[in-house]
Amino acid sequence: MMMTVQTRIGTPVVPRNKTDPTQSARQVGRMFRDIDERYLTIKRRLKTLFDQRLIGQKRETNGERSWMMCNNEGCEPSLYQVNAGKFIYDMSAVQLADLLQVVQAILDDELLEGGSQNLWALDYVSAEYERGTLNALTNLSVQSQAYASQATLQQLLSSPAYQNQIASAYISTYSDWKGISDTARADLANIIADSIGRGINPRETAGIVSKRLDASMSRAKTIAQTEQVGALRQAQWDETDWAADRLGLKTGLMWLSALKATTRSWHASRHGKVYTTEEVRDFYAENGNRYNCYCSQIPVLLNDDGSIFNEGLEDKLAKERKQWHK
């Protein structure tokens, strides 16, 4: 008996949330709360450390000098103060070096917890890579019965290609957080050494340190969002390429912009258009495009001329793109 092969191409699954097409807001928020807690712990530990180590005495006067005050009735000596109100720290160069080592240890304890093999941030990144793989599997399965019959999530997650990508993501993620910790350590070392040298009192020093940690936390959150959403996108790109390699499918990536007020115009202008994975990779490799971006790219099957099968979907997304630009 001859079996007929169904060649109907299904419609890609497009997320309903136009401002968060990667559907990552909840996951990113969870990592942000983790970061908040880590920086709060750093501040608390540093306060305890400073209370113990940043000690000394306030000098009301730094020497007195006399001069003559004169008027029509004659002259009389007067006194004035030089550098009044400075703080004198009871700290040697060796003690300062030891203090800075403890500061670095505190930063590393929280920001590099788990080390390069089991960094705390890796759980968030690997979870998003797995979610991106599942999304790609779902989308390609809807569009291609041939793909659906030959791919399961378990097969994809256990494949050597998938494991290699996870290992690569681990290396990149650890490098990012090592950079955050090192930069924070350098900033705090300069602040502490400068405060001691200039005689800024411990309370003011702690306030400056706190503000610098807030700036570090802001950078950390930017990196966290970039890592998580980037991992999800990377998984979609990879499975798009692998599906083409394994099954000979003609695939591309449909760009879904995060259509919100803060979206960069050159990101929004790509909404609904189809690109090769190489074109998408090139876009994110330049001009800081990968930072603070919530755009998504979903795998789509293409005609021989590179167009998508569902023209109605293409028209709908084009209207959304034009509406955003208005």
DSSP letter string over 103-154? HHHHHHHHHSTTTTTS-HHHHHHHHHHHHHHHHHHHHHHHH-HHHHHH--HH
d(C-alpha 65, C-alpha 81), whole Å: 7
d(C-alpha 242, C-alpha 151), whole Å: 11
Number of Cβ within a 10 Å radius of residue 120: 17
Q: What share of the chain is helix, strand, coil (3-state, %, to 5)?
A: 60, 10, 30
| Residues 243-275 as b or e (16 or more Cβ within 10 Å = b) | bbeeeebebbbbbbbbbeeebeeebbebbbbbb
Q: Where are the domains of the chain?
A: 25-71+80-325
CA distances in angstroms from 274 to 115, 280, 281, listed in the order given: 39, 10, 13
Tokens of 260: 């919100």
Cα atoms found within 13 Å of the Cα of residue 203, Cβ hemisphere only: 3
| Segment 227-234 mean pLDDT | 96
| Segment 216-244 mean pLDDT | 96
Q: What is the pLDDT of residues 273-285, one digit of tens each?
A: 999 999 999 999 9
Q: What is the pLDDT of residues 105-130, one digit of tens each?
A: 999 999 999 998 899 999 999 999 99
Q: Give the pLDDT of residue 154.
A: 93
Tokens of 101: 């080592």
d(C-alpha 69, C-alpha 49), whole Å: 48
Residue with the two structure tokens 């924070």:
184
Give 220 or 67, the one with higher predicted confidence: 220
Q: Give the pLDDT of residue 61.
A: 53
d(C-alpha 184, C-alpha 165), whole Å: 29
